[in-house]
Amino acid sequence: MSSEQQPPSGDHFVKSAEKTLAVLLAFNGGSAELTVSQVAEATELTRAAARRFLLTLVDLGYVRAAGSHYSLTPRVLDIGAGFLAGLDLPKIAGPHLHQLALDLDESATLSILDADEIVYIARAAAPRLHAVTINLGNRLPAWATSMGRMLIAELPESFQEQFLERVEISPFTDHTVSSAEELGEELRRIREQGWCLVSQELDDGLRGLAVPVRRGDETLAALNVSLHTSHLRGLSVENDLVPQLQQVAEAIAADFGGRADFGGHSDFGGHSDFGGRTE
């Protein structure tokens, strides 16, 4: 810690807590993986001390070790989960989802990433009759949905690689991706273009379109609409629907706090896609 940022002093102050946070914050410097020496330099700890803190965080599940390199695990998100929950993203997103559902006559959904699944946290059903009933909290495998792929594509490459190594692909339809390699190519394309379209991979005749909801450089969730081919009314996915979804996602992020930036890529993916049959 530099002399310009002296910590508070007093009987209450726990130096080990300060050092633990310093080790975690060392990974904010733009590199997803660090060596013991790099952590020691960033935190002004000795190599031996840095190694002990890293190994303790590995044991607690907040850091992952791969050879001589260390990286954060998604469990670090638990640290800020209470703060984000208190801001109530689903409640903020609700009016925006309902307006989007009215405008497109399609269901609109917000989801976050939980391990290898998406979880529905907010939804507005299509106004028409016989819309599919979806329950909040429903889960789907992230690899098979537009929101899940969008959120995975927002993760650092090291996390994506680990995901692709463990993912088990099973076909839902004849259109479903057939391998982790094919899925990896799709994730790279999604990351480059900033949106995701999954066409008839969960159900024949049904497509899902998703964009990220970002606050600054953080991806909070994914926004999705279901697309039935008979309801597009001549609209272009890329030229009409994607900009509309991005505008809604930006409005949600603005109401939630911070500035949405659809030009960059975030290091964090958050819950879900359609728990019934939306991709």
Round to whole Å and give the CA distance between 208 and 197: 6
Do 167 and 144 lie in one domain? The reply is yes
Is 265 part of any domain?
Answer: no
- Checking if the pLDDT of 173 tops 80, the result is no
Instruction: Assess whether 55 and 144 both reside in one domain.
Output: no
Per-range mean pLDDT, top range of 5-14, 38-47, 165-174, 175-184: 38-47
pLDDT tens profile 64-78: 999 999 999 888 877
H-only helix segments in the chain: 15-25, 36-43, 47-60, 77-87, 89-104, 146-153, 157-166, 180-193, 242-256
Let me know whether 212 and 229 are in one domain.
yes
- Domain assignment present for residue 102? The answer is yes
Which residues are CB-contacts of 101 (< 8 A; sequence separation ≥ 6)? 107, 108, 124, 125, 126, 127, 225
**Residue finishing a domain among 72, 91, 110:** 72
pLDDT value at position 65?
94
Residues 160 and 207 occupy one common structural domain: yes
Which whole-number Å values give the CA distances from 175 to 207, 208, 237, in the listed order?
11, 13, 19
Each as own residue / partner, the long-range contacts of residues 243-246 (CB below 8 Å, 24 or more positions apart, any chain) are 244/100, 244/103, 244/104, 245/100, 245/195, 245/209, 245/210, 245/211, 246/194, 246/195, 246/211
- The structure tokens 């801001």 sit at 87
* pLDDT reported for residue 270: 38
Please compute the mean of the pLDDT values over residues 231-259 and round it to a whole number. Answer: 82
Least confident range from 157-161, 184-188, 206-210, 229-233: namely: 229-233
Which residue's entry shows tokens 């299509």?
126
Q: Are residues 220 and 96 in the same domain?
A: yes
Does the residue 251 lie in any domain? yes
| pLDDT of 153 strictly over 60 | yes
Q: Is 268 part of a structural domain of the chain? A: no
**Residue matched to tokens 């994506």:** 160
- 131 and 239 in a single domain? The answer is yes
Residues 40 and 108 in one domain: no
Domain boundary among 23, 57, 72: 72
d(CA 144, CA 186): 11
Count of domains forming the chain: 2
Query: Which one has a higher pLDDT value, 131 or 45?
Result: 45
Query: Which range is most confident: 4-13, 23-32, 181-190?
Result: 181-190
* 45 or 267, higher pLDDT: 45
Measured between alpha carbons, how far apart are the two ends of the chain, in Å? 47
Find out whether 265 and 152 touch, Cβ atoms under 8 Å.
no
Which residue type sits at 159? Answer: F
Are residues 133 and 207 part of one domain?
yes
Mean pLDDT of 213-227: 89
Give yes or no: residues 51 and 85 share one domain: no
Q: What is the pLDDT of residue 199?
A: 76
Q: What is the pLDDT of residues 31-55, one digit of tens each?
A: 789 999 999 999 999 999 999 999 9
241 and 112 in a common domain: yes
Do the domain assignments include residue 117? Answer: yes
Q: What is the mean pLDDT of residues 222-229?
A: 86
Residue 192 lies in a domain: yes
Say if residue 43 is in the same domain as residue 155. no
Residue 61 included in any domain: yes
Compute the average pLDDT of residues 113-118.
86
Task: Mark which of 43, 72, 101 sits at the end of a domain.
Answer: 72
In a domain, 273, yes or no: no
Instruction: Please tell me the pTM assigned to this model.
Output: 0.60
SS3 148: helix
Backbone angles phi, psi at 201, to 5 degrees: -95, -20
Q: Where in the sequence is the domain holding 110, given as residue range(s)?
A: 79-256
CATH number (domain holding residue 250): 3.30.450.40
Query: Is 151 found in the same domain as 118?
Result: yes
Q: Pick the range with the lowest mean pLDDT from 20-34, 50-64, 81-95, 234-248.
A: 81-95
State which amino acid sits at residue 278. T
Can you name the residues that pair with 226 across neighbouring β-strands? Answer: 208
